[in-house]
Chain A
Amino acid sequence: MKQNWFYRKSSIKKLWIGTIIVLALTVIAEFFVHLHPHFDIESYFAFHAVYGFLACIAMVLFAKLLGYLIKRKDDYYDV
């Protein structure tokens, strides 16, 4: 059976390129839109992009570490 478009190596590469272009556009757009920063920290260039990215990395890493402590096999309560 022919592999679905979504799972082909070539199309995954295309998807990545498209994604990166869109991401870059949202940052470049900052040159053309005035952002009305309220807090000082907001006035750094691409603050929301960097903050969103770093916050997510931090949360995933924290979850991973916490996982070592609190993860159990899913029949933990059944036995």
Chain B
Amino acid sequence: MMCSLLHPGLILILAGLLIPLCKGKLRTAVVLAVPLCALAVVWNLDLTTSCSTSYLGFELQLLRLDALSLLFITVFAITVFTGSLYCCLQANSRELSAAFIYAGGAMAVVLAGDLITLFIFWELMALSSTLVLWSASNESSRRAGMRYILIHLLGGVVLMAGITAYLNQTGSIALTAMQPDSIGTVLILCGFLLNAGAPPLTAWLADAYPEASFSGMVFLSAFTTKTAVYVLMRGFPGTEILIAIGVFMIFYGIIYALLENDMRRILAYSIVNQVGFMICGIGIGTEMALNGAAAHAFTHIVYKALLLMSAGSVLYMTGKRKCTDLGGLIHSMPVTAVCGIIGALAISSFPLTSGFVSKSMITQSAVDQHILWVWLALQAASAGVFLHAGIKFPWFVFFQKDSGLRPEDPPLNMQLGMILFAFVCLFLGVFPNVLYAMLPYQVDYVPYTAAHTLTQLQLLLFSGLAFFVMLPLMKRTLTISLDFDWFYRKLIPQLVKWLEQLLSIVSQWLMPIQNKLMTVSLLQNASVSNRTLAFNLCLVMFLFVITLIYYLLV
């Protein structure tokens, strides 16, 4: 019992269940106070606190607290708080309720000490995030949510199969560092990677998230991919294949974001890009790299939420999300624009922003390991991030051309949410030691050297120059880009259609025989549809008898 009172994840899940019962000011108070309570509770626990229960003969460890889990719980809690502040007066109760259960599930995954507890809350996250998506209550979010849940249930099945095989092989359910050298651990790795947005099933992220409501995407961006990063750090640090997967994700994100016209889909692709940096760091696997991946997860959650709050405000005030419809909003929405630009600078790792102090650690770890190709890829990608998210998003939304739209800044609570996270981005950029003190390993790294600051400025400013030189080539068009989801959205439905056509041709061939049979049968007076039904039943029975005879004889 004490356990559930001290478990921040369960606190949030409980609050999520109560939110639909609350109205008005009470609801606002609950959604603002509960995340702070969870944060206070977890910071007052000893770092050695653990809490377990037994289930089906297994000892489940519901709460395992150490520096790494504390870091993730902290950033999850402040994101729930800021996200709630941002939408507490606008979002519907369904969305807030689902978002709290989703965030609670994410915290419970982070605190899970074993694979079964992890799996249970992993699936709770899949279900509740789908509900967040469906809270947008329109046809496109309904369909996107259906695709989203199917992919995640598939990932869940792969993960469960992996856990079962691993348990069978080792007799242990502990979540510790593993090697992908057996079928069990490979399947577990695949299950984790699916949630991180790794290839080949990357498309679910950019397909689903932008269909959420203006505030739903803020919550969605924070938890699923980052819990995947967390469990990869726990389970597979130093697994070399993750470097290649990470680098692929980094460039996939940039290229698709460059092609995209929908402002929130640009930001969705950039989630894949940023998670790629973290996965690359986990693949490198040194203390510096893992510190970098953890720090980057922290800063990324904050600046991505900030960017999505800024984009969400534009969507909320104008109802538009395509770059071709937007432009010139800086004059009428100064707060939204300035906060969005701070987020854009942070994601680009500009000096004095949070991205600079976290991403540099991953790049530095590639230098320390003397892996030239990874370092070159990460540097090119850093320039590319500025290109696709750092400039492209603010440029097309807030500058570009005068779209004729004159929306005002959103309501005060939405502005406060953005201002709070813009402050966090700058604060961590100026005082990186606050973040470094929370990292799992001792930090021996100084981000602000003259050399590092100068080379980063060169890299970023000249990529900015490239953006404006290439601007004619970046003209936005009313298009989407095909991705892996084409296979299940277009190819398979098309194959089913062809199969139907084939069957109808076959049945037309059989029509004369059918009619002949019918004229002599007892069904002479029955209607056409009944006759067809009877004929089909006869056909099925005939095939069944043939199969039966075949099996009896062979």
A36 touches B451 (CB 8 A): yes
A55 touches B383 (CB 8 A): yes
Residue from A46, A73, A76, A77 within 8 A of B458 (CB atoms): A46
Closest Cβ of chain A to B210, distance in Å, is 12
Per DSSP, chain A at the interface is helix
Complex CA–CA separation, A16 to B387 (angstroms): 18
* Residue count of chain A within 8 Å CB distance of chain B: 42
Complex CA–CA separation, A70 to B163 (angstroms): 37
Complex CA–CA separation, A72 to B483 (angstroms): 11
Residue from B259, B367, B458, B463 within 8 A of A66 (CB atoms): B259
A52 touches B462 (CB 8 A): yes
Per DSSP, chain B at the interface is helix
B490 touches A23 (CB 8 A): no
A35 touches B477 (CB 8 A): no
A60: chain B residues within 8 A (beta carbon): 258, 387, 466, 470, 473-474
Does A57 have its Cβ within 8 Å of any Cβ on chain B? yes
Does B228 have its Cβ within 8 Å of any Cβ on chain A? no
Shortest Cβ distance from B483 into A: residue: A70
A51 touches B470 (CB 8 A): no
Closest Cβ of chain B to A50, distance in Å, is 7
Known: A53-B463, A59-B254. A67 touches B481 (CB 8 A): yes
Complex CA–CA separation, A73 to B478 (angstroms): 6
B402: chain A residues within 8 A (beta carbon): 4, 7
Known: A39-B372, A55-B384. A49 touches B479 (CB 8 A): no
B383 touches A26 (CB 8 A): no
Residue from A26, A38, A74 within 8 A of B480 (CB atoms): A74
Known: A39-B372, A49-B459, A63-B258. A26 touches B470 (CB 8 A): no
Chain B 25-65 interface 0/1 with A at a Cβ cutoff of 8 Å (1 = within): 00000000000000000000000000000000000000000
Known: A56-B383, A71-B479, A71-B480. A48 touches B465 (CB 8 A): no
B482: chain A residues within 8 A (beta carbon): 70-72, 76
Does B516 have its Cβ within 8 Å of any Cβ on chain A? no
Does B261 have its Cβ within 8 Å of any Cβ on chain A? yes
Shortest Cβ distance from A35 into B: residue: B451
Complex CA–CA separation, A15 to B479 (angstroms): 31
* Residue count of chain B within 8 Å CB distance of chain A: 51
Chain B 425-467 interface 0/1 with A at a Cβ cutoff of 8 Å (1 = within): 0000000000000000000000000110011111111111111
Shortest Cβ distance from B254 into A: residue: A59
Chain A 2-26 interface 0/1 with B at a Cβ cutoff of 8 Å (1 = within): 0010110000000000010011001
Shortest Cβ distance from B466 into A: residue: A56
A71 touches B461 (CB 8 A): no
Does B399 have its Cβ within 8 Å of any Cβ on chain A? yes
A57 touches B383 (CB 8 A): no
Within 8 A of A (CB), among B257-308: 258-259, 261
A22 touches B461 (CB 8 A): yes
Shortest Cβ distance from A39 into B: residue: B372
B255 touches A59 (CB 8 A): yes
Does A62 have its Cβ within 8 Å of any Cβ on chain B? yes
A34 touches B480 (CB 8 A): no
Residue among B387, B460, B477 having the largest count of chain A Cβ atoms under 10 Å: B387
A26: chain B residues within 8 A (beta carbon): 454, 457-458, 461
21 contacts between A and B (CB under 8 A): A7-B402, A19-B464, A22-B461, A26-B454, A26-B461, A35-B455, A41-B376, A48-B462, A49-B458, A50-B462, A52-B458, A52-B460, A53-B462, A53-B465, A55-B380, A55-B383, A60-B473, A71-B479, A71-B480, A74-B479, A76-B480
Contacts A6-B330, A66-B255, A77-B489 supplied; 8 other A-B pairs, CB < 8 Å: A19-B465, A35-B455, A51-B383, A52-B466, A56-B387, A67-B259, A74-B478, A77-B490
